[in-house]
Amino acid sequence: MASPGLDDIEEVFRPDGLLAESLDGFGWRAQQQAMAARVAQSLDGGTLICEAGTGTGKTYAYLVPAMLSGRKVIVATGTRNLQDQLFHRDIPVIRRALGLPLRVALLKGRANYLCRHRLDRAVAHPEALRPEVRRDLALVRDWASVPGDGDIARVAIPEGAPVWPAVTSTSDNCLGQACADWQRCHFVAARRRAQEADLVVINHHLLCADMVLREEGFGEVLPGADAIVVDEAHQLPDVAAQFFGHSLSSRQLREFVRDLLETQQREAGDVPQLKQVAEALGALVPNIRRALGHEEQRRGAWSELDGNRALMDLLEQLLDLLAETEAQLGEVSERAKPLEQCHARAAAFGRRLTELLDEDDDTRVRWFELRGAGFMLHRTPLDVAAVFRAYQSAQHASWVFTSATLAVGDSFAHFAAQIGAEDADTARWDSPFDYRRQALLYLPKGLPDPGAGDYDETLCRTALQVIAASRGRTFCLFTSHRALRFASDYLGGRMAYPLLVQGEAPRAELIERFRRLGDGVLLGTSSFWEGVDVRGEALSCVIIDRLPFASPSDPLLQGRIDLLRRRGGNPFRDLQLPAAVIALKQGAGRLIRDRKDRGVLVLCDPRLCSRTYGRVFLDSLPRMSATTDLPVVERFLSPVPAPER
């Protein structure tokens, strides 16, 4: 049979269609077929924003029409893990099932590919590396000796391991065409494959890098696309805000100092003052971190730093040292490309710090972030809609934005306003799962207001009752690390089930351990509210401690609230409530992941019933039976008796 065309969507998705014939376990879903038809229609032009409930199979619903369209399509996902899943699993399955001779490419950011030049330099000078870097370097070197695409995700070393900055490049330190390994560069080869492909899989970060920086070199790839599909689109506005702003981090400064010292030794040994200024920069970074405070992790508004004279003096010293470094490098930068590059980096860091030390304007907010021994200083735009609008207008491409959580009730107004697509077509499909049979919503009685001093303890007592009824098998999702720590201490000695707590091990390892145990209780905060897929009886209950309103002390939120007020809007109605509804939908979506799943969703916040806005949250959840009585929960979760023989 000849490969199907775009007019054959029904032929592909119907109960006896091509996917059903080719794929074991494929089940027809009216929602999936309807979404595929709507996406196919949108590829002819225009913008579509659509929500597809859990279990719809939205990945196939946009991939099939994209692959049948005959157009050049870019698919942007939320994470690199999702990129790999699409490229290595989903797309090959569809291509085989439909018999499509399609050229497909996977494209990640520069730092995801091994840099041959930096690897050779690290191997040649191991004495300059920290012990933890040297420990993994041999494994990277052995892997690099085998022909491949250079994607570091293929190495059994964690993503955040210290070795990776030493053997990968960034737009700051890449030598470009002056590099001796340019013709063999893994990143250049990946970019070339993307230029030649019919379907390119990227992530949100890469899309935003193209939109604003163009430093990653994708100008000739994305503008040539006929259509761009953005999956997990609810994450895109926050990712874009990072890219459209400016930041300076301790990691960037430390890497610069390391590169500068190595470059001075190789290319400018007769300029000892370069070494002196680099060492002064290196010594200043930990002093700035100490001056920012002793907390392990937090975000704060720049206004909190205004009275910190010691910190401001250190930042002025940093600015002076960067200017001195730039001046000294300017005198020798023509000697070699690495010196020229260090000169450009010093100038760029100086410009960023100057902007950070300037006053806020009406459209940007300054803030800081502490993470362990590191820090980041940010200047972030409060509204990215205009940038999105201009980029979409310049592309002359069709756009599809999709996620399981974009709407508040039936309205897409909040998301559409964030990306400047207020005139987009919209569509929404409910989950094909039978929530009335598979799920129960439990709203516990007797909980105090979340602001009350005894709320956390009362909530934990309630959680213990539900966990007992569920025989473990529970996710407890919290809106703050403080509440998670309290629950960890309280529950740890009061229940017989294995307790897994965010931070005790990497996220993927905790989830895998939870699956294996079969009766575990996992406590997590924001990173566990989405992207976690546990099917079967191992997860039979999800408990959410509070409605996930963002902290009013968050500097970005406060800046956006002030901007909305200046524009005459209502911050609670237009910003805080829609964002919290979408976050709750993400957390609730962890419960039912398969047609055979059954479970209880426990929403502990009494404001769902006591405040008028509670109805907005409840109306945005899948339709399921609800109760306020624990015995109903216990009966729902009780084991099904085995049939008599």
Q: What is the CATH number of the domain that holds 357?
A: 1.20.1440
**pLDDT tens digits along 167-178:** 999 887 888 888
Residue 149 · residue 197 · CB < 8 Å: no
Last residue of a domain, one of 366, 381, 396: 381
How far apart, in Å, do the first and last CA atoms of the chain sit?
49
Can you tell me the mean pLDDT for 99-127?
Answer: 91
End position of a domain, from candidates 352, 381, 410: 381
> What pLDDT was estimated at residue 387?
86
Same domain, 365 and 504: no
Residue 475 lies in a domain: yes
Place of tokens 């407890």: 476
Binning pLDDT at 50, 70 and 90, where does residue 628 land? very high
**Is 224 inside a domain boundary?**
no
Alpha helices in 333-381 (DSSP H): 337-357
Is residue 211 within 8 Å of 223, Cβ to Cβ? no
Q: Are residues 582 and 505 in the same domain?
A: yes
pLDDT at 262: 87
Q: Judge whether residue 560 has pLDDT over 80.
A: yes
Max intra-chain CA distance, the chain = 90
Q: Given pLDDT bands bounded at 50, 70 and 90, which one contains residue 645?
A: very low
User: Quick check: 284 pLDDT over 60?
Assistant: yes
Rounded mean pLDDT of 481-499?
A: 94
Rounded to an integer, what distance in angstroms lies between the CA atom of residue 214 and that of residue 244? Answer: 12
Q: Which of 554, 475, 567 is nearest to 521 (CA)?
A: 475
In a domain, 579, yes or no: yes
Domain boundary among 381, 407, 424: 381
592 and 454 in a single domain? The answer is yes
Looking at the structure of the chain, the number of domains it has is: 2
Asked if 314 contacts 284 with a C-beta cutoff of 8 angstroms, the reply is yes
One domain for residues 377 and 439: no
pLDDT digits (tens, 9 = 90+) for 57-109: 999 999 999 999 999 999 999 988 899 999 999 999 999 999 988 999 999 98
Give the CATH number, domain containing residue 585.
3.40.50.300
DSSP string, 57-93: -HHHHHHHHHHHS-S-EEEEESSHHHHHHIIIIIHHH
Q: Which of 298-307, 416-425, 626-635 has the lowest mean pLDDT?
A: 298-307
- Are 463 and 366 in the same domain? no
| 643: pLDDT strictly greater than 70 | no
Structure confidence at residue 635 (pLDDT): 96
Q: Report which of 89, 168, 94 is spatially closest to residue 136, judged by C-alpha positions.
A: 168
Do both 449 and 574 map to the same domain?
yes
Residue, of 6 and 418, whose pLDDT is higher: 418
Q: Is the pLDDT of residue 428 over 50?
A: yes
Average pLDDT over residues 238-250: 91
Same domain, 373 and 465: no
| Whether residue 346 is found in the same domain as residue 485 | no
User: What are the residues facing 369 on neighbouring strands?
Assistant: 299, 376
Is position 229 within any domain?
Answer: no
Is residue 395 a part of any domain in this protein? no
Across the range 595-622, mean pLDDT stands at 96
| Cα 355 to Cα 331: distance, rounded to the nearest angstrom | 25
Residue recorded with tokens 């624990």: 630
Report the distance separating Cα 502 and Cα 525, nearest Å: 7
pTM over 0.85: yes
Using alpha carbons, select from 358, 360, 282, 286 the residue that is nearest to residue 325: 282
Asked whether the predicted pLDDT for residue 221 surpasses 70, the reply is no
Residue 446 within any structural domain of the chain: yes
pLDDT tens readout for residues 372-421: 999 999 999 999 998 888 888 877 899 999 999 999 999 999 999 999 99
User: Residue 6, by phi and psi: left (phi above 0), alpha (psi -120 to 50) or beta?
Assistant: alpha
Residues 473 and 312: their CA atoms lie apart, in Å, by 50
The full length of the chain comes to 645
Cα 558–315–312 angle (5° rounding)? Answer: 65
The runs of H, that is alpha helices, within 446-520 are: 455-470, 481-492, 507-517
In a domain, 209, yes or no: no
- Structural domain harbouring 539: 435-637
Residue 211 CB: number of other CB atoms within 10 A?
21
In a domain, 189, yes or no: no
370 and 485: one domain? Answer: no
Nearest to 332 by CA among 282, 281, 272: 272
Q: Model confidence at 219, in pLDDT bands (50, 70, 90)?
A: low
Q: Are residues 456 and 373 in the same domain?
A: no
Q: Is 445 found in the same domain as 370?
A: no
Q: What is the DSSP letter of 493?
A: T
Q: Residues 349, 459: one domain? A: no
For residue range 314-363, what is the model confidence (pLDDT) as tens digits? Answer: 999 999 999 999 999 999 989 988 899 899 999 999 999 999 998 767 88
**In this predicted structure, what is the pLDDT of residue 642?**
44
Residue that has been written with the tokens 């570091």 in this structure: 152
